[in-house]
Amino acid sequence: MLRRRLNRWLGGEERRVDSRTIYVGSRSANEAFIPPKFCDNRIVSSKYTVWNFLPKNLFEQFRRIANFYFLIIFLVQVIVDTPTSPVTSGLPLFFVITVTAIKQGYEDWLRHKADNEVNKYPVTVLEGGRRIRKESEKIKVGDVVEVEEDETFPCDLVLLQSSKEDGTCFVTTASLDGESNHKTHYTVPDIDEDLESLSATVECEQPQPDLYKFVGRMHIDKIQDPTVRSLGPENLLLKGATLKNTQKICGVAVYTGMETKMALNYQGKSQKRSAVEKSINAFLLVYLCILVSKALVCTTLKYVWQSNPGQDEPWYNEKTQKEKDTNFYLKMFTDFLSFMVLFNFIIPVSMYVTVEMQKFLGSYFITWDKDFFDPEIKEGALVNTSDLNEELGQVEYVFTDKTGTLTQNNMEFVECCIDGFQYKYRDANSDLDGICTTDGPVNKVRQKAVEEREELFLRALCLCHTVQVKEPTEQGHSQREEDMVDGLGVDGHLVHPVQEQRGFIASSPDEVALVKGAMRYGFTFMGLESKTMKILNRNNDVETYDLLHVLHFDPVRRRMSVIVRSKSGDILLFCKGADSSIFPRVRPEEVEKIRMHVERNATEGYRTLCVAYKLLSAEEYAQADAGLREARLVLQDREERLMAVYNQVETGMSLIGATAVEDRLQEEAAETMEALQGAGMKVWVLTGDKMETAKSTCYACRLFQKNTELLELTVRTLENGERRREERLYELLREYHKKAVQDAPPNKAGITRSWSSAGQDFGFIIDGATLSMVLNSSSESTSSHYKNLFLQICQNCTSVLCCRMAPLQKAQIVKMVKNSKGCPITLSIGDGANDVSMILEAHVGIGIKGKEGRQAVRNSDYAIPKLKHLKKLLLAHGHLYYVRISHLVQYFFYKNLCFILPQFLYQFFCGYSQQPLYDAAYLTMYNICFTSMPILAYSLLEQHISIEELLDNAALYREIAKNAMLRWGPFLCWTLLGVFHGLLFFFGVRCLFSNPALQDNGQVFGNWSYGTIVFTILVFTVTLKLALDTRHWTWINHFVIWGSLAFYVFFSFFWGGIIWPFLRQQRLYFVFANMLSSVSAWLVIILLILLSLLPEILLVVFRKPRGPHTRQTPVQTVGRNQSSARPLLMRTFSDESNTVI
């Protein structure tokens, strides 16, 4: 005790800066004890409180340039004497801020509600030998918590006691990493059953977000023999995980509240911005420049005009003394600000809220799409980020995982190889003697391996794993449930009758497939009880082995081992892993007879593992045991020390054989990949699997064709030459660059596949080791040169396969392509935790709700049940969302230019007096009410091409590639159209006013009538322009378009027909009604609307119909035509209507 304290004070061998100490149980009365302070167990995922919501939300909203700009304009209107009321800018700004605040407040209220459900959940805590019910938020670090079956762990606990005799418990971590398979956790050894008398100290690392890493040790204070036990991830129960198949457990809280691993993993992702948002900001700057230019021109011309005698101070408008005393430059500046205020409506503030609503509401079409519903998992698509809907229509590179994404991750044992002899499973009723076949040059007199080696191999499969056997509690029902949860039920007719009702529990489907494969050949794993593994052999005898150590699998070693002791006292190490990991650790003469089987199985697309063993002497085991125990007790660099011991003991092994497990392709995987390539996307497969298996999958998915020339850059090709690896790497890169880039025909660059027979398609293959050489070369200049060569080669290949990839390398590849020339839009799709890094790195991340868990789904922007759904998500939804929002953005800038240009021109005819052309009510309502709903409905429902046509003709996706609709060319066209309409509106009405006596009684029209006629023509023209652009009509489009026009007419009559007491001056009193009493006004309004829309009408009439672009007829016939023309909303919700208007 004293020694441990001295070590703790003096630091000992290790530094404990990065560790925490937790006291468990009561301390002795004579021992001074100051409990350390840790955070409470409250979870806070909300962003705001009642007190800080208003200031914090306003601060965040005014960080947006457009909102801040309009705030400044509003303040200028309040402070300076401007021609328009502050209401004209304040009301639209208030509307935008309010709508956004309500949306964000509602979302945060939902987060508060979820937090309260977690924090107020009742839990059981053991205090002074009593079981006390508390709210979850009141748990403190060091409390002993009791959890019952099917309950969720309220904080991160170290497992002290379990109701199971062997000191284990089963948990599912679906809410953390999504893995529905059961995981086994172990109690800390040497803990007394009576937890009331327990006195211990836990030393562990400070909180960190890695779910699969935990380093600690427990000092158990006993009167006779104090002991120290190591703590690892197998002892830690994570908050959010659920207890399964175990009545109850007790554990000590080590991390609580926001320091739990779950909370640390839920920190916000970095905000992704779409290309459309960047285009909006660029266009905004252009219009801001136009605004400043207009204000400068008008300010300059005003003072030029006033410099003429008599113009500055006419006899009827003499200046006051205050005006005469005002500083000339200050007056000029305030005039400039007044013109800025007058023309500020050219910047569309309401566009932002419309875009937000379009994205938010549009995301529901994905979640409601019935084609995305998967009956197997009873789930549909999920949208985690609605800000990227239009980005789905701009994807240029697709990075996909292989296992679980291109394939089903449903493993089935196919065959095995023992000492070079192939054992292929054919018939369940056959015995081992009848299913051995020879393969290739290993044909010898003996047609199968010796029986001793066969049994050794099968014992290795039964022992080298972390599989648990689940005994069913209810006949039939439990087995069905197990099949549903794990998908790994046992085939009854293949096993011993005693084992029929057993299910296997494992975190990896590979392991269960191998255990079931051994069962087919007569060796059945009976389970693990109190560190004893039981096997039922072919003779129906039960063999027992003491499990001494498990050397766990990790992605770096790519292998796992167990050390067991047989009944006879022999100590055996069994190891299984990837061939690249096992072959260097066994005798070279054993490798050749197994290698050809492994390569052949990989070529056929099977997942292969090699199996080896080693008989350990007493000295070897003692050394390994001491090394492992010592390494597991350290807090610093535990993983590195364990790795060193693993590598030391896993040497000089004997190779027994290899296994082949089949992982079938996902449904419609080949058709999906072909469609993506037809749409102009480059598909890269990033996998940790071996090259041969991945290459076979690429051929099966049609990413590689028979005529595709493969350019291979792997460790194998680098070792072919006599030169050093780096020299050989540079030589191959130059050779491939010449072939794929320099010698490629000009039209070849940038396309995805040569569908004609002319030209050569290239496929590129690289492995993780070679990629490290490319990315991390010895010198920075060389590395940059290698990267450029590598990128250029890949960009000119139809498909790229990157195998043997670590998760971090996947993200590096995505980042490299994302930041390459042109900044192409990237998409990553995967289903496992190892895909999260590349999903977060890409512009768009897609998670698949697969068997490797839901961690990818949680971190993705969009989640889909199957790979086949990616085709419709991109080619249909992505295409339509991009077209809709592009039209929305261009249309907003266009209609605001039409709106403000007549106001600018009017200044030339009113002495630059800042006289507004439109009434304040019209200025305020134009963007909020009169023109907002039609474009919102268009941006949600428009289908310029039917969904069926988009799916059938993938090449249509290329028409909108590289932000085609938001380039400077289309933007200039829309701007010129706005200028044309603005000029036509103003000067057309001016021609009418050449004789202002437009009424029968000879009464003349004034300036407000002039502005009202211009505004009426403006509202009708921009609305009918959108109607002409609409290719797909629904009742909603009809309602909002004709309803908006009717509302404008009604509002104008209503606003001008009543004397409003709160208005000091009523400029439009009966102006609208008087205007419509003039036949000339009617004629000009109709004529100018027709003239404005004439180019559009001629385009519609004389345009040659082309395929899907033909306009639909009012009534569609029943059948495919009707289905293709129906809007996305109606096709999603209802199949009742046979006509579309």
Phi, psi of 576 (to 5 degrees): -135, 145
Taking Cα atoms as reference points, which of 767, 761, 751 lies closest to residue 706? 761
The token pair at 1049 is: 């007419």
Cα angle, residue 335 at apex, residues 329 and 339 outer, rounded to 5°: 145
Instruction: Looking at 554-617, list the stretches that DSSP marks H as alpha helix, in order from N- to C-terminal side.
Output: 579-582, 588-603
Sheet bearing 168-173, strands edge to edge: 179-186, 168-173, 242-244
Instruction: Give the residue from 422, 419, 420 showing the smallest Cα distance to 435.
Output: 422
Sheet with 382-383, side-by-side order of all strands? 382-383, 862-864, 844-848, 826-830, 397-400, 682-686, 799-803, 762-767, 709-713
The token pair that represents 395 in the structure block:
């994807």
Question: Which ranges of 801-843 does DSSP label H, i.e. alpha helix?
Answer: 807-818, 836-841
Q: Is 401 an annotated catalytic residue?
A: yes
- Radius of gyration over alpha carbons of the chain, in Å? 37
Backbone angles phi, psi at 147, to 5 degrees: -125, 135
Torsions phi, psi of 792, nearest 5? -65, -40
- Burial of 1113 (C-beta count, 10 Å sphere; 0-12/13-18/19+): exposed
Selecting among 387, 401, 663, 689, the annotated active-site residue is: 401
Pull the structure tokens for residue 971: 């933007």
Question: Comparing C-alpha atoms, which of 868, 773, 940, 777 is closest to residue 354?
Answer: 940
Question: Contact, 19 vs 203, CB < 8 A?
Answer: yes
What distance lies between CA 361 and its chain's CA centroid? Answer: 19
Structure-block tokens of residue 133: 């019910």
Name the burial class of residue 143, with classes exposed (0-12), middle (13-18) and buried (19+) by CB atoms within 10 angstroms of its CB. buried
Cβ contact 852:179 at 8 Å = yes
**Positive or negative, the Cα torsion across 1053, 1057, 1058, 1060?**
positive
H-type helices in 748-867, by residue range?
Answer: 768-775, 780-795, 807-818, 836-841, 855-859
What are the distances in angstroms from CA 615 to CA 141, 518, 570, 594? 45, 21, 7, 20
Burial of 530 from C-beta contacts in 10 A (0-12 / 13-18 / 19+):
exposed
Which DSSP string do the residues of 1075-1114 spell out, in sequence order? HHT-HHHHHHHHHHHHHHHHHHHHHHHHSPP-GGGSPPPS
Instruction: Write down how long the chain is.
Output: 1141
Which residues touch 417 (CB under 8 Å, ≥6 apart)? Answer: 423, 439, 594, 597, 598, 657, 658, 659, 660
Closest among 849, 713, 705 to 773, alpha carbons compared: 713
Query: Which tokens hold the place of 1115?
Result: 């009534």
Q: Evaluate whether 864 touches 374 at the Cβ level (below 8 Å).
A: no
- Structure tokens given for 107: 């979302």
- The CA-atom distances, in angstroms, between 751 and each of 679, 754, 764, 797, 800 are 10, 8, 15, 9, 14
Q: Please give the Cα distance from 1070 to 1085 (Å, whole number).
A: 18
Known catalytic residues? 401
